[in-house]
Amino acid sequence: MNWEVRQKYNHNTRGNEKSEQYDAPKHYSQWNHPADALEMKEKREGREYAVEMYTDGRKSSGGVGSGIAIFENNHLSLQLMYRLADECSNKAEQLAIVKALEKLRDFRHLQGLQRSAAVRTDSKITLDAIANPRNHQHLVEQIREVRSLEKDNWSIHFTWVKAHNDNLGNEIADQLAKNAASR
């Protein structure tokens, strides 16, 4: 199995982009125009995706972490975890999606119909935040920048998965988030 685990610690989520801190609201001049709003495309049952990305966030007494499990053609190909400053688990969920979408750019070898991806999260709050055009938090806006991937012919769908329901991808992402939070 070809996979790697990357650990980044103390990923702060307050402030601004220059300080590597991410959840401050964007200035209104940087908001997407309403006509360019992200259309939430839910995963279609029965459709196969070349890339499936499971994301999770966790807050524990030890800290806050994000975990990502990426499968290519149903094979686990990449595992990532990030430790965050003491923030809420929703920010960890959002950061996991941002980082997963950034990694999708590394799948340049996929062409044509192979450029399909499903982002799976167990956070309904995060999916609702992405779909809410009035939410302009920086991480939410970064997720909405998925449009740049769509311009490269990626078809990306988002879906909610039930947590702790024997879903391998979700369980791996959960364990990675737990490990990152406890470091």
Tens place of pLDDT per residue across the chain (183 aa)? 333 344 343 344 444 444 444 444 555 555 555 555 555 555 556 778 999 999 999 988 888 999 999 999 999 999 999 998 766 778 899 999 999 999 998 998 998 878 899 999 999 999 999 888 888 888 988 888 887 888 888 888 888 998 888 899 999 999 999 999 987
pLDDT at 27: 53
Bridge partners, residue 82, by sequence: 8, 66
Give the span between the Cα atoms of 14 and 64, in whole angstroms: 14
Which domains can be identified in the chain, with CATH numbers? Answer: 5-182 (3.30.420.10)
pLDDT at residue 7, rounded to an integer: 39
pLDDT at 17: 42
What pLDDT shows up at residue 35? 53
CA separation for the pair 44, 23 (Å, rounded): 30
Residue 48 confidence (pLDDT): 85
Write down the pLDDT at residue 15. Answer: 40
Instruction: Determine the pLDDT at residue 166.
Output: 87
pLDDT value at residue 60: 86
